[in-house]
Each structure stands twice: as structure tokens, then as C-alpha cells.
Structure 1
């Protein structure tokens, strides 16, 4: 170190190279809104084909569930599997653990399902659809539309312009221009002709597939090589399909065009509907590669669209629906502003206490330099720039100056204490001695501040996924701050005094020196009176215990719980759910009515809307507000306007395009399990009605729905011999009602499904269904002659979780725009359920269980609470190693519960939440709060060992360390103040953490300055008094206290500076008589 201090240019150049390398590494970090960690959900959908729900579940459902639940590799494990068996298809939600790689999860599920369904019926195999949802990486979406031309015409113009160039977007895994009006080749059969010719849809399907499907013909060995044989499908066009030959059972051959109308068009029954401000829209959608830079991807796409815009037709308009780069830019800029504001506030505190501009710069240079150096380790550890990691830098900005203050202040003390030599070697000796004296203290205090994060490694995957980046960033940045303080600060200070005639003149004077001296004098009098007044101490201890008990018993339960604060957004979603629709167009009509009502009521506050209808019974409307600051009020009024009706249910939520997918559990969950499906449904329906009658929660429903759905049931006449099987009958009806995809063709460089169907609207009632003509045994008979046709009510679906079939009764509070911790509804629900049990007999095998609806959130917070306890234990071990005294270590730890008072009070006063971030704030506060306590206890202990009386030692030490404590505490508090205020985009995410640390440190600092010296005074007085009563020598007293082995003026273990500062900045305290 001596050689480095003596060669400042070597230090400056080395740190400059490191800083430039850090800046370069920072530019190479991927940018996203949230950390890379994800909890992937893989979705598997399978159609039943011609089977019904019961047959599919009994034949294949159990096997599929068992296989999916069994995914268990070194890096993948299924945490939860939900299966839903509807009337036409089955869906499986495979939820993997936090931290699982999304692509590995998708690959494993795809391989398993592809192999598993190989033996299933072809229709089931062809319907297999597997996709993944892992939203934290974000995505980009924009809509293109014309108010004068149809969507197909717009697509025809834009597709050749955009599609080839979208494939060149570097960070995009996939990017495409999607036309929701996807065309199909529709073969519309003539029912009368089909029946009279005794034809079935299966015969038409076979004839079409003969001309559109290629076949494998085995292989042949020629010489040493094996040659596969393939029968290629003919190259036919859509218009060629009408010329295909179809053979009838009677041996007649006719053209497909004679019995069917063939068209290449949009099938109105199955299309998606997407509209921007009421106009049908194309969607440009893109998702980033794993670990890709979603911000750069979005910016590249926007640049491409702007560059190609002159080639668009004049009537084409576009709206950017989801642009993560816009939000990320705003959020990241906001965090950098927080870092800048926090740093400036910290610098302001330094100037107030130090007074010299050059000295302030010497200490403050540590803030940006430690942050830039942290980028190096962030890159090597695979992190990215996101709100959480940048929030860690914002939090560290106030902490990072502490080490520099300690080093600089000790150099000042040595310069004033000693006769300043004229030669450089003497000045170097003074600086070296000052640094050596505090080197271990700086390293130890830094370790003590960072060791509290170690227990995070043992918390739940959710906690670590959300908070891991923040903890690592604080560790990297604050760790480098000690390195900078011990290397750069002494080098700069030595460089400044190298040629100075009077180095002491550069120490500087505080601009508020008079006020600080008055503060010290007043503090000395107040503390002197406090340490000698046992009554006042007992009253204070009682007040502290009462405050802690009251806050934990009454305030803590009132804090609303959440995983993580959500970033501000200008998007709100209005979702619609209904029952009974059979085609998307029906839901489109209902959605248009709701959208019209929305715009009439709130149109002046909305920039534009985007509507999507994907299913016959569900849709959603996205509205983008003109002013995101009005979101909370707008949300409330929207909930008041759109109340659930008899058939239409609404859900309303703000939506952020790049929001981390965190648990959003309901407020109430009751599981009805066991027994048969009808008993479960009836029981769930009865309990739901009882809960609604008592108005336990405003929003209550069951999953799956507990209302019976009406089903047309056919029971074939078993006494009637016929050549048509139940499978053929179901196939005929499926083609007659919904249509059936039988294969595909390539049309204009796009794949188009071939759909077989009868004319839409042919059957609208059960009576018309019974009259449908069927050709059988040379005759045409109505369907009712072959089967009994009637409408029956049945359960709408079967739902299972991890193999357990159940109905879940779900409840949510109204006005979710307001956070509340009121859980009185649980007692009401328990009372209603008890009354229901008393008046109803449970069917055989049925079990009703009230479950913890927020189990994942509660588990995460509980594990973090354990982490708080572990962090305190680790601090205690560090203190024992550093101080060598259990008593002194326990006195130091008193600062932690004092901080708890401030944390809970601040969270309650500022109406914040009990979240993962606020609990992490407690962990962070533990490491910061004990630093002040260490300074007081260690310095007072050394003064006592030097022969001072207990009161003189303790009070004098506290007064002399008042300024360093105020500097380090205020710089940390003000450095975190912008985070606590939660300004700008993304500000609410880290706000609970900032409130917890800032509020907790205020209380901890204020109480520590009185409580810790008083406790130390009582301990030292007790030891000295016992020794005096027994006639023990002073040396024996010191040995009893376990400190005599340390010579006066030595640094015992790892401690702070030996002697008090005597500079103008840190003047000696007034003498206090004992």
C-alpha cells in the first residue's frame, strides 16, 4: 500500500482503467424491467376429437396428468399442475419452480407430450397445442389498421414490407405480423345430397386426404445404402379440390364440387377479433430471446416501422400497444435520478459537516466509482440492468460514503494531533498510520453490513428471485466502496498535502460549526442526566417495550400484504366473462356494447382502446389513459360502473406490459373435494349461495363454474341395427355444427387449414337437430330415428390440482384499487360455513376445506422473517469475533429492535405494505443500525480502559462520536429518501424498502444515542462497583471485563479509530464530570 500511496498516478490510472471497463461492461448488460429469474407456466391443450369429456378423461387424462407431474430433472421440477376438462377440450397448466429455465421447461413438456400422444387418435394428436408464458422478459405489440379498407387488404400490403425485415431483429426470438382473420379452405357440404347419396363426412375426409397428404412407402436397400420410399402429395390448388373424385357406397363416382361448395375465406365461427379504437387490426408481435435485451429489441422494431412507414398505404394507421422500451427507459431514468438526488443529498450533508469542497469531493467520489465498478461483477454473475438491480444501486448510494468518511476523518485527526513534517516521507507515514488504524474497522464494518444478506440464500425461490438482484448489487457496490475508501481516499489526501505548506489549513471548517457545538453541548447535558436517572431509564425501557408490543400486536396485522409493489402504468384492462355463447361473433357483439358504454362514460380520459375476443365466452378491452396519475381514481370509478350481472361478470385490473408475474392470490378459497363430480358441484353451489347471501365478499365465484350447463345429449337406440356407429354419428354432428379441420394446404406461401363443415346456422334448436337427415341402409332418415335427442343439465367441467379433483370457491374484495389488511371476512366466512354444515349433510366422500388462499405470499414473508432472525445471529457472531465480549455485543444489538419501532411506525404512517421489499429493508437496516452502536460501545469501552470513570468514558465517547454518527446516518437516510418517496415510473416497487430503511434508521439513530450509552454505563458501573466492593484492583476490573489484554490506545480486534478526532471538523467534546 505504501508504494501505491506514494505513486498517485499509478492509482489514478488503475482506477480509471477499471472505471472505463466498468462503464463498458455496464453498456453490455441486458436491459429489462425485472430480473431474469422466472416461474414458467407451460400450457398444454388437447381437443377430444369425437370423444366426450368422460371418455377422454378416463382413457387419457390420468396418464397425461401423471406424466406432466412427473417432470423432475436436475434443473426442472413441477410445483403445481392444474387440469381442466371442458365439454370439448382439456387444458393443463404446468407450473414450474421459480428460477427454472423457460425454454428447458417448454422443451421437456413438448418432448413428453409429443411422445405420449403418438398412440392417440389422429384428431387428438393434431389438436395438441403447447405454449409457454413467462412474462418477465416482456414483449412488444403494435396494431395496424385502416378505417376504410378490410383487414385482408391491409395485410396484403404490409406483409411483404415488414415480414422479411422482422426476421433480422437481432434480439427477437420471434417477430411476426399476424392477421387474426386467418383464412381457411372451407368445404361446405350439402346435407340433402350427402344423405341421399349415403355419404358421411369421414368419406369426404378420406377422399380429400388422398390428394393432399404424402405417404411413406417403406424403404429399399440398393447396394450398401438404404433408400426411403415416399409418395409425394400432388401439387393441387384450392380450385382443384372441386375436381376430386368421391366414391359413394353404391359404387357411384362424382365430383366433390357436386356435393359441396369450396371457398378460401375467413371462417366466421372460429376467428379471433382484435380492434383498435373500434377498427379491426393486424398485430405486430415480438418476444425477446432468453437473456436478450428487450429494450433494444423494441427500439429496433420501432426504428424499422418508422423507416418503412413511407412505403405504407396512406390509409394505414398504427398504434404501439406494448412498448417495454418506453416504460423501461422511464423507469431506469427515474432510478438514475434517484441515485443522483440521493448522492447530491449525501454530498450536501458532507459539506455541512466537513465544509471543504476538496474534502467533500474526496469522500463523495466513492459513490459513482463504486457503482461503476459494480457493473463488472454484475456482468460476470449473469445479471441484467433492471428496476431491482438499479434500486440496489440507489440504496447503496447513501451507504457507500461511510467508509470514506471514516478514513478521511481519521487522517484529519492524525494531521492535527501530530507535528506535520515538512518532507514527503513524514507525510506518507502519517497517512499510512491513519489508514492502518482504521483499515480493519472499515473492512469489518463493511462485512457486517453485507453479511446480513447471506440468509437470503436459504429463503424461498420466490423471495430470492425477486430480491436476489438487489442484494447482489448492494454487496457488489458497497464492497467496492471499502476498496475505494482504503485506496483512493488516502492517495488523494496525500497528493493534496504533498506540496502544501500547512496541510492542516486544508482540513476545512463546517459552515454550521456553531450550531453543531451547541448540539454537542446540549446532547452532553441530556445524556449525562439520562445515564444517571434510573427512573428515566426505566420509563424509557417500558415505553420502548410497550411500543414494540403495541406495534407487533396491533400495527403489524393492519399492514396489507403483497409480494412486490407494482409499477405505475397507464393501461387498464376490463375483462368480460359469460356463458352460453357458441361462436366468437356472439361475444364480439356483447363486447362492442360494453366498449361503447366505456367510451361514452370515460372517453375524455382515454387515448385509445384495444379489444380482443378469442373465445365465445370471454374477451377483454384495454384502455390507455391520457394521464396515468389518475389511474387509482379511474380504477375505482370503473369498478363502480361495471358491476357483475346475471350472465356477464367483469374483472378490472391495471396492466403493465413488462410486469413480473407474481402471485396474485384471492382473499378467500374454499375447496370442495372428493365424491363424484355432481356432488362436488352441488355442494360448491350451495356453499357459494350461502356466502353470497351473507355478502361475505363482493366478488364470489367457483372454479369451474358451479351452475349447470345445458347439453344436448344423444342416446343411440341400441335395439336398432344400422350400419352407422356412435362414432360416425358424433362425427356427422360435429361437422354439422362446429366444423372439423381435416388437413392443410399451402396457399400463397401460407398454411391454410382445410375445414369440413355443413352450412352454418343449419340447426338452431334441439328439434332441428333431431330432424337432421342421415343416409343409412339406402334410406334417408331423421337423426331422431336413430337416437333419443334431449336437453339435459350437467356439470360444466372437471377441475383438478395435482391430481386432486375439486371445486374451488373463490372470493375477492371489492375496490382492489385500495390496499387493505382487513381480514374480518374470514371470520364471517367461517361462521357461514359452520352454519351451512349444521343444516346440510355432506354427500358421501365429500370434504370441505378452507384453505390459506395466500399461502405462497405468507410462506415467502415467513421465510424472510426467519432470514431477519438469522441476520441478527450472524451480526452477533461478527460482533463476538470483533469485540471479544458477549456483553458489549448484546449492547450493540439493542440498536436493532429500536429500528423495528421506526420500521413499523413508518410503514403504518405512510400507508405502505408488508412486502418482500419491506422485510428486506429490515434486513438491510440491521446491518446499518449496528454500525452506530458499534462506534459508541467500542469507543466508550476503550475510554474506560484508559482509566476514565464510567460516566466520563461513556458520555465523552458518545459526544465525540456524535458527528460521525450523524454524518453516516444522515447520508444513508437522505440517500434513500428518493426511494422512500417512490417518484416516477417504477418508484412504487422499491418504496416499501426505502420507507423501512429511512424510517427505521431515524428511530434507531435517535434512540441509540441515548439507550446504548445508558446500557453501557450500567454495565461498566456494575463491573466497577462489584470490584470496588471486593477490594479488587483496577487492573483486575479490566481483566474481569475481558479487555485488560489490550493496551490503552490499541485497537482490540476489529474496531473503529482509537482516539477521538480533534480537528475543527470533529472537535473534542466538553469534559463531563463524573
Structure 2
């Protein structure tokens, strides 16, 4: 017995099957998470190493280059990129698609562990991070309260907000970030140390040895055993101030309070954040993998509404980034398109058949096919996201095809006089082989996408599988459920004539006869049209990697000249704040100035110093404003007063989401000499600056940062028995200070940093008068073995493929990326030909990703 005949003769069984599909499909629907994109594991690892106080050139030579050489030999490494800046090395290792990142990360750790001893003393252990789309926050809040200082506000939000949010199902973490990090500062007076014959190192050692609890065994007394402990940990700041750090010539103890002061303060403030034009803290919410972004965000926002009622008066939450809002918009638009497509398909079918009974069958077949697809998606481990929803919307039109063929054939047999049960089973059997072949032929078109590598391949896989699941589901419904429904719903009736469609049929027959008489001309015409279509796509159609979309939030970078102090950067950002809040469409703003703190994970789009800042804002929903986000930003940009030597650029967050370049347009210049690379970059900027559509044209390398270079006279130092490392360590103690121990208070462990008072390290003379103790115990000064010279050094050194690189970067507006890039190629060709041996130019950014992706798609289409 065939499947259609079984379905018709066993209506109860088929009805139960329908109910099972509906129930399981609804359960699968609610179990499927809702995301923006599929959870793609980008084949990329980042190695971060900090070396406080080191220049970018020292970071490059002492940390970045050695680690690059070690990790480049790991299996399946495709490319190694890096940047070195003051105090920080960040190396990005890109692997071949399909690489197991857990194994790759372990290989990288093992390779670094073999050579870690070669890294400079004082450098932190290299940390390895994996890139994942789930690492991005789904919600980003700014929290303010003018009546509470930042330290108290951070504690308040951590204990009363973050802890409660992390208990919500689906929330992975809720981080509270503040620009001021608490630290115990021990400020020493240079004159007081020298008059008592002490050095900063002696204070550091005393603190380290005093702040300690030690086990000392046990004793038995009577029938009890007592544990013995030596208790010496500091309980208060007075304990620190009252430790003995030495003895005077008269035998009197020297206390720490005699040579300095102990302050409950902050680490050096190298960055500052402002929320809605005031000070505050940041709340960053991440969801757990696989959970529904929209649902988790809804719960978090509801919980914050409840929590805010219990917080001190004046505490405000400003939601600046909300991914769930964009996901909801995307999902609703895609779902509406799918619904409209299904209704149109039903309407067209009714128009041609002119009978509501077959139309009703189609109306039931489409949702049943979609519900069956939900089950397949859940079983395959996918979620609802932009890719699967687009595949589902596209598949709705294809899902109708199989059911239409079956229904039309059944309807034809019934109109010829066959009983409806017999027509339902026989009509479906008759076309089963044909629709099965047609379905698998269509699936074969999408099947190669499943095996495609690269980012496009990873995105195309769920798209192809969703369409394939939908087509298989429609085939299943067409040969099982549709015949049964037809045998129940259809009414036996004779064929009805349609004067209108008879005319259409006659016209079609005449046109077909003419085509068949002129086969050659018609075939050549079709081939010509096809060739013209391909040429239009290749040469005249605009090309982009990601289409522009309105996300209702934005980010801009502000760059001032190198060496600009933090307060000046904040002043420029305040002007931006004032201009942005004039826009009624902007709801909230957050600004950042300066480099990120040590506790935050650095990235390639982080600020490199106090001369840089970021400006982030959120807008009202798209339906509540007339203009797009890009149009509003363009108006803000034009309305900003012309600051001298200030550059403002819009950051394309779509490329950041996939680990790409922070700029759509990137022209890479490779070579060894940074000055020559910079000069070449300026030539390129001059040649392309007038290209229509280019915005925010700039160079990745900046003017040199002012530095004081201390050059050691090795011969004189050797006479005192000193090495360069010993002298450098002494200088570091007096300038940056050293963390000598940790102080426990209120459930926190704070660094205790010993350093000179800021008033004692203002000038070069203060630097040259740093005391150094020789191995024989003799005290000399830095000027006895070194001299200081003012120089400039690069702020950030970038490397790509273990070669130095300088990039010319730009955004674009009003034109397609392919057209702008083609014009750039023509303009820079003479510059490229004039480069000496060892120097070359490549195009990167979104263009490179786009070319690689188009190659993948071309191979898939050929297959």
C-alpha cells in the first residue's frame, strides 16, 4: 500500500499524526532560542600580555615578535596579526575554518609555556581568549546617581543589581565597570627616605614581610589540641602606617608614617566614562549560549524596573545598547514577510482554481509544513535567527509547490468523474515520484552550501538546511496529509468552465507554437539575456559584504593629537554630547575617554591612550523617527564645530560582530620602516581623499608619542657592579611604584602600591636623582650611570603575517563598497608600482571578506 493511499484509508491515524506534529512543533517553537545570528565559533584566538610602563617598540621586540614566532608554527594557523602599544601586546591568531579551537588553544598554551621564561620579568602571563558572538553584551546600561560617589555606586550596583540579574535564567554574567579602581597607595617622601638612609625597595620588602599569617604547628594541653598561628595581616590602614621599616643610627625604630602616608585611593586614572553627561558606572549584561536573547533581555529589563524602586533616590538607568530590540525588529519583519508570502500564494491559487476547498487544503498544508520544519530545526540544534528566518520565509513559497501539484492532480481526477477517496489516493500516487524528484533537485542546489568554508559558508549552512528541512517537510505533508484532507474536504463535482482561462490557454498555445517554429532564434535570445544579466551583476551591480541596517544604536571614535591629556579629550567629548542631545531621536549617550583599564579585555578597537575616546548612543525605535541612524550621524558630524587636529569616525559594528576590521575600507601597507610606511600612507590619502562617498579617511599609525629615553652607560654601571635590568627595576620602583602586598577589607582584596609622592617626580632632575643601591651597599644616583634624552616613539605598532603594517582606513556613505574600492585601486596603482623591494600594498577590510565570500558563493553556484 502506498503512502498516499494509507493516509486516505486511515484517516484517524493521519489525524493523530497531524496532532502529534502540531503539539511537538509548538513545543519546539518555544524551545528554539531567538538570536541575531547563528552561534558561530570564529576560528580566532587572542593572546594578551601586559608589561606595564614599556613603550610600544619594547613591547614589540620583547613580547610580540617572540610570541608570534612561537605560535605561528601551531597546526592550521592561517594568519597571525598583532598590535603593540604602551604596556600591552595583543596577538590575534586566525586558524583555518573547521579547526577545533579547544585543541588549538591548548597547543598555543603549550607552545607559549615552553618559552615563557624568555619573556621579560614583570610581564604578565599571556592570557588566551576565544572569540564568540555570545561574548557580546545583549544589554549595556549606564547607571548614575549624583549624590553617590563612583566607588559607593559601583558597590551598590554590584550587590543590589548585578547579583540579582545573574540569578535570572539565561543570564551568563552581569559586570559592573568603573573607571576608578580602588587601591591602597603608600606615598613616600624622597627627602624623608634619603635623610634616614632608606630606599623605596626597603619599604616594599618590609610591607611584604609584615603582612602575613603563618601556621606554626600545634600543641596539646590536657585533652585539647591547639593550632598555633602567627597572625600578622593588616587589619587597618593604621596597621600599615605603623610598621617598622628600619632603625635609626641612635637605635630608634623608623615607622612607615615617618617617611610617607597611607591613602585609600585609586589606581592611576587613565580613562574616564560619562553617562548622560554625568559620572557613573557601566552595567554590561551577557546571556548564556543557546538562550533566547529577546526573552532574557525582557526579563532583565523587567527586573531592573523592580530593583530601581528599591535603590536610593536619584539612581537612574540609561539603556544605551539593546540587541534584543534589533532582533525583535528583524524577526517581526521576516515573519510578516513569510505570512504575506503564504497568504499571497493561497490567494493566487484561489484565483486560478476558483474553488475554496483546494485553497483551504493549501492553507492548512503551509502551516503544517512550517511546524514540521520547527521540529527539524530543534533536532539539528539551531535557533531562530536572521539566517534561519530568511530561509524559512524563502521556503514558504517553495513549500506550496508540492501541495499545489498534488491538489491540482487530485482536483483534475475528481472533475473527470472519479470518486474523491479514489482521486485523492490515486492523484497523489501519480505525482509522488515527480514531486520527490523535484524536491531533491531543489535541495541539491543548496546542498553544497552545507560544506562551504569561510564565514559565508558558516552563515549559509543554517540557511541551506532550513530550506532543505522546509522542502522535505512540504514533501511529507504533500504525500500524507494533503490527500487525507482532500478526501475529507473536497466535494465531488463536474468540471467547471472558465471563459477567462480558456482565452489565456488559447493565447499560450499560439505563443508556444510560434516559439517552437523559431527554436534557434528563441534559444539565442534566452542565452543573450542570460549573458547580459550576468554582465550586469558583475560590472554594474553594487557590491557590499553586509547590507547596511538600522540598529538604533551607534558608536563613534574621537582622536586627538598624541600626547593630549585626558581632560582635553573629555572636553571634546562633552561638545559631542551637547550636539548629540539636540537630536530628539537620541535617547541616551555614554562616552569613554582614555585607554581601558587592566581588568577589561583589550581589543583592536580599544583606545590606545588618553588622546582617544568613544561616543556611544541609542536612538528611539525606527518607527518613531523619520531618518535612519546613518542620516542622523551624518547630520551630527556636519554640525560639530571644527576642532583643530581632531578626527571623528563612525565605527561599523557589523564587521566587529564577526571579528573583522573596524573599518569597511582598509588599505594595508607592509614593510619594515615605520616612517616610510607613514609617508606612503599620506600619499595614498592625498590620492583618494576626493573619491565620492569616502568618509573618515585616516591612518592607523599616529604621530610619535613623547618619551624620555634613559640610556645606561654600561661601562660606568659595570664599575659599580650594576646591570641594566637592576637599574631599570630601580627606576620603575620610583616612577610607577610596585605592588608590595594585598590588603583585605570588606570582602575585597586591594593592591598596596608603594611609590614616590607625585610632588617628588615632576622633572627630569627628579628622575636623574633616583637613588640606586649597588651590590656593595653603596648608594649612587641615576645620573652617575645614565643620561636622559627626549625622543618620540610610535603609539601603536601593527603587524600582519609577522611584518610591520600601516593601514589607511575609511568608512563609506551613499555608494556601494565595490564601486569605491574599484576607484581606489586605480588611484593607488602608481604608488604601488613605485614601492621599493620589501614593501607592498594589499586591500583588506570588508572588501577582502567580500571577495573571499563571493568566491565561495561562485563555487557553490557552479556545483
Partner of 1:671: 669
Work out whether 1:504 is the aligned partner of 2:487.
Answer: no
How far 1:37 moved relative to its partner? 1.4
Out of 31, 34, 43, the position equivalent to 2:46 is 43
CA contact (8 A) 1:169 1:300 kept: yes
Aligned twin of 2:557: 575
Rate the CA distance shift 1:116–1:614 in 2: closer, same or farther, 3 A: farther
- Give the alignment partner of residue 577 of structure 2, picking from 592, 595, 618: 595
Question: How big is each residue's C-alpha offset from its partner over 1:2-30, in whole Å with a ceiling of 9 and x where there is no partner?
Answer: 34311212211111112211110121122
Provide the C-alpha distance between the structure 1 equivalents of 2:40 and 2:374, rounded to a whole number of angstroms.
Answer: 19
Report what 1:376 is aligned to.
Answer: 375
Match of residue 287 from structure 2? 288
CA distance in structure 2 between the partners assigned to 1:751 and 1:528 by the alignment: 90
**Which residues in structure 2 correspond to 1:7-46 (within 5 Å)?**
7-39=10-42, 41-46=44-49
In the TM superposition, what whole-angstrom CA distance separates every residue of 1:529-554 from its partner, at most 9, and x where no partner exists?
333247xx52x555544444444445
Matched, 1:564 2:541: no
Q: CA deviation at 1:295?
A: 3.0
Say if 1:184 and 1:755, in contact at 8 Å, map to a contact too.
yes
| Alignment match, 1:446 | 439
Change (3 A) 1:483 1:106: same
Aligned CA distance change for structure 1 residues 138 and 376 (closer, same or farther; 3 Å): farther
Q: 1:809 to 1:564 in 2, by over 3 A?
A: closer
Asked if the contact 1:739–1:756 (Cα under 8 Å) also holds between the matched residues in 2, the reply is: yes
> For residue 68 of structure 1, what is the aligned residue in structure 2?
71
The CA distance in 2 between the partners of 1:756 and 1:800, in whole Å, is 36
SS at match of 1:234: coil
Q: Specify the alignment match of 2:614 in structure 1.
A: 620
Give the secondary structure class of the aligned counterpart of 2:123: helix
Q: Secondary structure at the match of 2:342?
A: helix
* Cα distance between partner residues in 2 of 1:411 and 1:690: 73
- Decide whether the 8 Å contact of 1:701 with 1:811 is kept in 2: yes
What is the TM-score with the length of structure 1 in the denominator? 0.70
CA distance in 1, matches of 2:843, 2:611: 29
Which of 460, 463, 472 in structure 1 is aligned with 2:465? Answer: 472
Following superposition, the deviation at residue 738 of structure 1 comes to: 3.9
Alignment: residue pair count: 822
Alignment partner, residue 222 of structure 2: none
Q: Equivalent residue for 1:93?
A: 92
CA RMSD of aligned residues (A): 3.6
Residues in 1 aligned to 2:240 and 2:377: alpha-carbon distance in whole angstroms: 61
Distance 1:557 1:237, change over 3 A: farther
Is 2:255 aligned against 1:259?
Answer: no
Question: 1:446 deviation in Å?
Answer: 0.7
Change (3 A) 1:741 1:169: farther
| CA drift at 1:432 | 2.5
Deviates more, 1:618-627 or 1:432-441: 618-627
Q: How does 1:634-645 map to 2 (within 5 A)?
A: 634-641=632-639
TM-superposition CA deviations, 1:499-539 (whole Å, max 9, x none): x6xx025x777xxx4433332222323332333247xx52x
- Report the alpha carbon displacement of residue 362 of structure 1 after superposing the two structures with TM: 0.6
Name the CA distance, whole Å, in 1 between partners of 2:259 and 2:341.
78
1:745 is aligned to 743
Paired with 2:362 and 2:105, the residues of 1 have a C-alpha distance of 51
Quick one: structure 1 residues 852 and 622, their matched pair in 2 at CA, closer, same or farther if it must change by over 3 Å? closer
For residues 800 and 651 of structure 2, the distance between their equivalents in structure 1, rounded to whole angstroms, comes to: 26
Shift of 1:274: 2.2
Counterpart of 1:358 in structure 2 is 357
Report if aligned partners of 1:39, 1:99 keep a CA contact under 8 Å in 2: no
Secondary structure (helix, strand or coil) at the match of 2:185 reads strand
- Report the structure, 1 or 2, having the larger strand content: 2
The 1:574/1:849 distance shift into structure 2, 3 A limit, reads closer
Output the CA distance in 2 between the equivalents of 1:36 and 1:643.
42
* Structure-2 change in CA distance of 1:296 and 1:760 (3 Å): farther
- The match for 1:828 is 827
Contact 1:144 1:281 in 2 (8 A): yes
Change (3 A) 1:585 1:207: farther
User: What is the TM-score of this pair, normalised by structure 2?
Assistant: 0.86
Q: Write out aligned runs for 1:788-803 (5 A).
A: 788-802=787-801
Name the CA distance, whole Å, in 1 between partners of 2:53 and 2:342: 68
Q: Distance in 2 between matches of 1:390 and 1:300?
A: 23
Structure-2 separation of matches of 1:817 and 1:605: 25
Equivalent in the alignment of 2:840: 848
Q: What is the deviation of 1:401?
A: 1.0
Cα distance in 2 for partners of 1:335, 1:310 equals 37
Choose 476-485 or 764-773, whichever is displaced more: 764-773
Contact kept in structure 2, 1:566 and 1:659, CA below 8 Å:
no
Distance in 1 separating the partners of 2:269 and 2:496? 79
Partner of 1:321: 320
Aligned-residue offset at 1:100: 6.0
CA distance in 1, matches of 2:525, 2:67: 62
C-alpha contact 1:50 1:727 (8 A) present in aligned 2: no
**Residues 166 and 359 (structure 1), Cα distance of their counterparts in 2 relative to 1, 3 Å cut:** same
Residue 444 of structure 1 aligns to a residue whose secondary structure is helix
Q: Is the 8 A contact 1:42 1:93 kept in 2?
A: yes
The structure-2 alpha-carbon separation of the partners of 1:11 and 1:778, relative to structure 1 and needing over 3 Å to count, comes to closer
Q: Which residue of 2 aligns with 1:857?
A: 850
Match of 1:200 in 2: 199
CA 1:627/1:429 → structure 2, altered by over 3 Å: closer, same or farther? closer
Q: Are the equivalent residues in 2 in contact too, given 1:364–1:401 (CA < 8 A)?
A: no
**SS of residue matched to 1:312:** coil
Counterpart in the other structure of 1:807: 805
Q: Report the Cα offset of residue 186 of structure 1.
A: 1.2
Q: Does the 8 A contact of 1:138 with 1:657 survive in 2?
A: no
> Counterparts of 1:579 and 1:641 in 2: how far apart (Å)?
21
- Aligned partners of 2:642 and 2:536: how far apart in 1? 35
Check the 8 A contact 2:346/2:363 in 1, yes or no: yes
* Whole-angstrom CA distance in 2 between matches of 1:693 and 1:684: 14
- Residues of 2 paired with 1:296 and 1:110: CA distance? 37
Residue aligned with 1:564, SS: coil
Q: Secondary structure at the match of 1:613?
A: strand
Cα shift at 1:386: 0.9
Q: Is the 8 A contact 1:391 1:470 kept in 2?
A: yes
Q: Shift in Å at residue 863 of structure 1? A: 1.8
1:142, CA displacement in angstroms? 1.6
**Distance of 2:311 and 2:52 partners within structure 1:** 43
Structure 1 position 560, deviation (Å): 3.1
Higher helix fraction (1 or 2) = 1
- Higher Rg: 1
Partners of 2:120 and 2:678 in 1: CA distance:
36
Q: Compute the displacement of 1:444 (Å).
A: 0.7
1:522 maps to 2:507: yes
Partner of 2:683: 690
Residues 186-230 of structure 1, C-alpha deviations (whole Å, 9 max, x = no match) = 111212223344433333222222234678999xxxxxxxxxx99
CA deviation string 1:976-1026 (max 9, x = no partner): xxxxxxxxxxxxxxxxxxxxxxxxxxxxxxxxxxxxxxxxxxxxxxxxxxx
- Aligned position for 1:178: 177
Matching residue of 1:428: 421
Note if contact 1:199-1:249 (Cα within 8 Å) is conserved in structure 2.
no
Task: Note closer, same or farther for the CA distance 1:118–1:373 as it changes in structure 2 (3 Å cut).
Answer: farther
Question: 1:671, 1:850 within 8 Å by CA — same for their partners in 2?
Answer: yes
Provide the C-alpha distance between the structure 1 equivalents of 2:301 and 2:655, rounded to a whole number of angstroms.
Answer: 16
Q: Secondary structure at the match of 1:343?
A: helix
Tell me, which stretches of 5 or more residues in structure 1 are unaligned?
219-228, 422-426, 675-679, 871-1074
